[in-house]
Each structure stands twice: as C-alpha cells, then as structure tokens.
Structure 1
C-alpha cells in the first residue's frame, strides 16, 4: 500500500446484479468520489472477465454467470468476504440484497451505510409477466423486509417520484440518472424528406418497455420509408421475450437486434447514438414507469438526438424547452406513418439543453452529503 493510499478513506460500492463498472455506481457515484482525491475506492458487481485494478480503484466479482438462486446466495458470501477484506469507512449498497449483512456488520466494522435506491423494486415486480400473484406477494415481502433495516445513514434516490413512493427512506438525497459527460452542441435539426431514417432502441428490453410494439410500428414505417433501419441493442433477462424479439426480426433485414443476457457496455450504446436520426422510447403507460425519468432521455438530450416517445406529460415537459422530441402512439399502427410525418415537420433542438440535464449539476450536493457523514 502506498503512502498516499494509506491516507485515503476506504469506500466500498457494492451491487450483486449490476456490473462492476456499472453506469451509475462506477461511472457516476464512484468517479465523482474519485475526483475529490479523498477516497480509496473498491467496487463489487458482476463481471464475466477479471477486471484490472489500478491505484485507488479495485474490483471484486459478485457474480460471473447468469444469476441462479445458488449464485445469488453465494454472492452474499462473496460480499461478506469483500467487506471484511476492504473494511470500508463508507459502504454504499446499490442493491437491497446486501442490506441485511451490511446492517449487521455496521457497528462491528464501524462504517457509514448509504443505500443507493436505483429502483422501486416492489413496484417493478408488476413489470415481470412471468411472476404469478403468489410469487409477487412473496417477493414483495422479502424486498420490504430487506429494505427495512434501520442502520442506513443516507438514502440516495435515483428518481424524484421515490420521495412520495417510499417516504420511509429518510434522510434522502435525490440523485437522478443524468448524463455523465458534456452536452454535444448541435444546430437546430430539420429533417429533409428521404427514403429512410435510422432509429435506435437501447437499454433494458422488456414487454413493459414496448420493444415488440415498436418493431411492429417500424414495419409500418418501412412501407413509406423503405430504406429505414432499426437498431435494437440491450439487455433482456426474459428468455421467452428474447425469443419473441428474435421471431419478430425474421424476414425483416432492416431490423438489427442485439439482445444480451447481461447489460451491454454503456460506451457501446453511446456509440450507437451517433449513427441514428431518432431514439425510440416506446414505453407502455404503466404505474411503475410513468413517473420515472428514463436515463435515455438525459442521454439523447445531451447527445443531440431527437426522441420519439410515448405521450407521457412528464417526459414531454422535460423535452419541451429545447424541442428534444415528439410524441408517438406506438400502439396505433394505422397512424404510424401519419404521426411520423408530423414528427418530420418539427424543428428539433431549437434551443440547446441546459447543464441541468448533466450529472455534474448534482455532483456537488452528492459530495457534500457524503462528507457530512
């Protein structure tokens, strides 16, 4: 251990199912802490390949294969071993699964405990069509019990709506999933009529996120714009849905599907934005989704890519100041070309988004909250 690292505050940022270099845990929370020069950082998350340690930054695997029940249990053992090895002064849990162990060892190891609430996990159970009512009820009880621990010093809420949805999580700081980077300044965008446009669907691929419906919508667009292309790149955990997506691509070479069991590296998704005319967010109107701000909204706005989006008032209000998108009813395929032609008549990015869409706009408040612990 170098003389410098001996003076730094040891921090462990741990998750079971998220990647060790997760977009939020590593790319936002971790890098913000690293930039202060105060902390010695360790990250725990799943990884299929060994990650290379560097000065002030070490990595530990929670999982290395598909998360089976046995792997989830063994992940707890791995977490405890890492906890005892790192002996952090600050433990940042990015999953409810680690909270019971984190709570139990808090007084023994003497760390401050922060819980990064990335999802409303109980509500999210309604988005999984494979769960029976009895299984949903059991899982919701388990999640509530795990999140009930009293020893959390600070809750980081990834969505503003979690303040009302989870009032018991206090004290809290809202840290939205804003874009970690700088705004790409673009001139106002007006589309000329042409034979084809490039579309992108990225991120998590689930029934509630409307990927299949968007594919059907795109096939209607092809009738008027035959040179169009749709790229789908994302993480799909439901095997049955992955098969449905694959079947929907058959006999349609204009759709390029990359559906992965594990999350796609974020840099690959960001690179895909540079090749498209529109990002598509075809989310269903579901209670677990409607009040949230998808990360893709911040990404597309910062990268200067117009979005075609379900008509959610919260999302449209966010896009309105800089004309960042247009509402589309992806379920009304009869009107697909008519609505898209209306979108083509719009001017996008008539104003440049402000820095309020960036992670750095809330970074100082995050560091201040951590230092206050």
Structure 2
C-alpha cells in the first residue's frame, strides 16, 4: 500500500471545506478553494429547495466559506466576476473554462436561406433554452428554411418536457441528446456543422455575470453567433467580430439576411485569448508556487 501526504488539497465544493480544514490542522497541508460557481447566489435563485429554506441554506454556505477563508491558501475563480466575493481577499487566480485550440477551425457560412442554428451543452430553462428557442422561432418566421439543432443534455424534467413539446410542435427543431446527454465529440461535430450559434440567457442574478462556456467553444470553431443585447459578454463578442445582436423587431427578410451576411472573424483580430493555453500556464505556475512555498 502506498500512502501519500498531499502538499495541497483543491476543494471544489463548500461542503468539503470543514473536513479539509480539519485535515489541515491535524496533518498540515495547503488548501486551495476552487470556486466554480457562486454557490450563495445559486442556492438563492436556482435551487429547487422550498422558498423558506433558500435564504437559510444560502446563508449557511456563505458562513462556511467566510469562516474557512483564513485557512485557505489560495482561491481559484471560474469567473472574473467572482473577484468581488467578500471573503477571498487578494489570494486569487481566475481560470476561465476556455476552449482548446483546434488544428483548423472552420470558417465561412452555408446557405443563408437555409441556415442551421445551434444551441449546445446544457439545454435547460435555467440556462436559456426557452430564450434561444423563442429567438429561433422569430428568425424562422423571417427565414422559413432555417433549422435549429439542440445538442446536449437536458438535465431536469421541466426542461425536458418543454423541449419535447416544442419539438413536437415545430418540425424545424431537432434534438440530439436529452436526459442522458451526449459525448463531447458529438457536440464538437454539431458546432462544426452549424452555421450560427445562439447564445441567449434569462435574467437571473446567479448567472448574469457568468461568461458562457459555449461562447469559447463557438469562437474556437469560428462559428458566428446570434446574441442578446446588454449582457456582460456582448461587447467582447462584438469586438471580436464573432457575433451580431438579434432584435426581434428587425424581422424583414432582407434586413436580417444582410445581418447574417456580416463579416465574422476577420484575420486582423487576435483570438489567442479565447484558448485554454494561457489559463493552463497560470494553473501550472500556481501549483508550482504552492508546492515549492514550504
């Protein structure tokens, strides 16, 4: 039997913070808290708990995080917005879930009279499947030959029911995946075959300041995107010439086709910051610092 004493423990859920701190006190180690979500806001605004329990559970999680903070050597943050969390101080590194570089990302668009739109990844009401479908149906009124491909996992019964009923009523929408999800290679294939990605999310304090992972994925494939106005990622996508904003009022066929025929992903723009490469370097430096700083 091989026994190892870890030099660092990476904790990625608040429930494991107390036992990790106990281990630190008894055996000595460094704790890194990997904050993948704003758990406090998730419980308040996304949890299926009864309404009267949500504030209590959210307060308990925030209390655990706050009391554990002095024992944490470093915080890893999945979003830039998490730097405002009140308990992390200045001991943090942002590691966003960016895309892996592709050998030859696809460019160009197919037939604009019959474009294929895509929503991939988590297909839930919480993460905007209703808003994306509503936008597509308005587009479909303008471009009757358009199709919508939903590819990914539908994680809950309410979302699954909504998606199923929508597909039954609209033959132009198809689903690959469902409750069981799909292999990531299937999602990659769907991105490569699509003409446009749809990125729409509902207003919700738990996700308003989160950068959708699918944006990195779509950009890595040079997939043009149709996006919302006034979201935290809107200006970034527009600056990269990766997207156009959809307004339901611009419903004349000629106007909308001209928008879809915009120039996307020009060679003059640097896209190196969309990839995981830089994040990987930051992670390596952090691990080296933690293990060498005895």
TM (normalized to structure 1)?
0.68
**Deviation (angstroms), 1:184:** 4.0
1:138-287 to 2 correspondence within 5 Å? Answer: 138-148=56-66, 149=68, 150-164=70-84, 166-170=85-89, 171-182=91-102, 184-185=104-105, 189=108, 193-194=112-113, 196-258=114-176, 260-261=178-179, 264-287=182-205
Does 1:288 pair with 2:206?
A: yes
In 2 relative to 1, CA 260–135 (structure 1 residues): closer, same or farther, beyond 3 Å? Answer: farther
Q: Is the CA contact 1:183–1:355 (under 8 Å) kept in the aligned structure 2?
A: no
**Deviation (angstroms), 1:342:** 4.4
- Whole-Å Cα distance in 2 between the matches of residues 273 and 109 of structure 1? 47
The count of residues paired between Structure 1 and Structure 2 equals: 285
- Whole-Å Cα distance in 2 between the matches of residues 183 and 327 of structure 1? 29
- Whole-Å Cα distance in 1 between the matches of residues 182 and 21 of structure 2? 31
- Whole-Å Cα distance in 2 between the matches of residues 277 and 242 of structure 1? 25
Residue aligning to 1:364: 281
- Whole-Å Cα distance in 1 between the matches of residues 176 and 4 of structure 2? 37
Q: Partner of 1:133: helix, strand, or coil?
A: coil
- Whole-Å Cα distance in 1 between the matches of residues 166 and 78 of structure 2? 33
TM (normalized to structure 2)?
0.85
> Structure 2: 5+ residue runs without aligned partners?
none
- Whole-Å Cα distance in 2 between the matches of residues 258 and 185 of structure 1? 22
**Deviation (angstroms), 1:108:** 2.8
Q: Partner of 1:207: helix, strand, or coil?
A: coil
Does 1:306 pair with 2:234?
A: no
1:325-344 to 2 correspondence within 5 Å? Answer: 325-329=243-247, 332=248, 335-336=250-251, 340-344=256-260
In 2 relative to 1, CA 349–178 (structure 1 residues): closer, same or farther, beyond 3 Å? Answer: same
**Deviation (angstroms), 1:86:** 6.0
Deviations 1:271-318 (A, max 9, x none): 210110011111123333232211111111111101111113532221
Q: Is the CA contact 1:190–1:346 (under 8 Å) kept in the aligned structure 2?
A: no
In 2 relative to 1, CA 185–258 (structure 1 residues): closer, same or farther, beyond 3 Å? Answer: closer
Deviates more, 1:338-347 or 1:232-241: 338-347
- Whole-Å Cα distance in 2 between the matches of residues 143 and 163 of structure 1? 18
- Whole-Å Cα distance in 1 between the matches of residues 182 and 65 of structure 2? 28
The correspondence for 1:315, drawn from 214, 233, 237, is: 233
- Whole-Å Cα distance in 2 between the matches of residues 144 and 129 of structure 1? 15
Deviations 1:32-78 (A, max 9, x none): xxxxxxxxxxxxxxxxxxxxxxxxxxxxxxxxxxxxxxxxxxxxxxx
Report which structure shows greater RCO (CA 8 Å, sep ≥6). 2
Q: CA RMSD in A?
A: 2.7
- Whole-Å Cα distance in 1 between the matches of residues 117 and 244 of structure 2? 14
In 2 relative to 1, CA 300–193 (structure 1 residues): closer, same or farther, beyond 3 Å? Answer: closer
